[in-house]
Amino acid sequence: MLKVGLTGGIGCGKSTAVQRFRELGVPVIEADLIAREIVSVGQPALQEITDYFGSQALQADGVLDRAWLRQAVFSDPLRLEQLESILHPRIRSEILARIAACTHSAYVIVDVPLLFEKGYTQLFERILVIDCLPDQQVLRVRQRDGSDDSVITSIMQSQIGREARLQQAHDVISNTSSITDFYEKIDDLNFKYIKLSDV
């Protein structure tokens, strides 16, 4: 079974691509969903976070206070490093377990937003990058969730640069035109991955 890591900059259309692959019957594993699951109430990762950051990391109902945590690690590299050392090994092992469970498919898509930044490349045989123009990224994110342009730009700057992302990709889908065009490119790639998995 072919293992494909999917990534791309904010606003490039990863979620739309994931939705299309699912419509094509391809199993999709989402790192962001796993990240949420492993910090749910009762999970060891949540306890570790609480041990390190204190009870202020939790809401009154015992659920992780994501907004507080984001603020706590935003300008503190040591705290961020500690948080990532709690989360990423667990995310990685859960991704591997879910890949192993996908036994009846030609290939599997794993959506990892920080695939390059957090060293996930070695888990995959192919890296698929969803790409669009920087101006389109800003416009789409602004339209999607009303974020301020400066916030969007700072998120873009925290991610690996566009050129570096494209250089490391095996496959690139450009999402600069219509949704129909985007879907056609994904459908073509679906056939390519099915063929590659037969080799």
pLDDT tens for residues 43-55? Answer: 999 999 999 999 9
50 labeled binding residue = no
Residue 154 φ/ψ region, left for φ over 0, alpha for ψ in the -120 to 50 degree band, beta for the rest: alpha
pLDDT for position 166: 93
Higher pLDDT, 176 or 189: 189
pLDDT for position 134: 83
Show me where the domains of the chain are located. 1-27+106-199, 33-101
Q: Does residue 74 carry a pLDDT above 80?
A: no
Contact 29, 22 (CB under 8 A): no
pLDDT for position 186: 97
pLDDT for position 146: 77
Q: Does residue 75 carry a pLDDT above 70?
A: yes
192 labeled binding residue = no
* Alpha carbons 189 and 191: distance in angstroms, whole number: 5
pTM of this prediction? 0.88
Kind plus residue range of the DSSP H or E element containing 152: helix 149-158
118 labeled binding residue = no
Topology at the third CATH level for domain 1-27+106-199:
Rossmann fold (3.40.50)
Q: Does residue 163 carry a pLDDT above 60?
A: yes
Going by pLDDT thresholds of 50, 70 and 90, the confidence category of residue 72 is confident
Contact 26, 36 (CB under 8 A): no
How much is the average pLDDT of 182-196?
Answer: 96
185 labeled binding residue = no
Higher pLDDT, 111 or 10: 111
146 labeled binding residue = no
Out of 28-32, 108-112, 134-138, 146-150, pick the least confident. 146-150
Q: Does residue 158 carry a pLDDT above 70?
A: yes
pLDDT for position 154: 75
15 labeled binding residue = yes
pLDDT for position 86: 94
HEC profile of 22-63: HHCCCCEEEHHHHHHHCCCCCCHHHHHHHHHHCHHHECCCCC
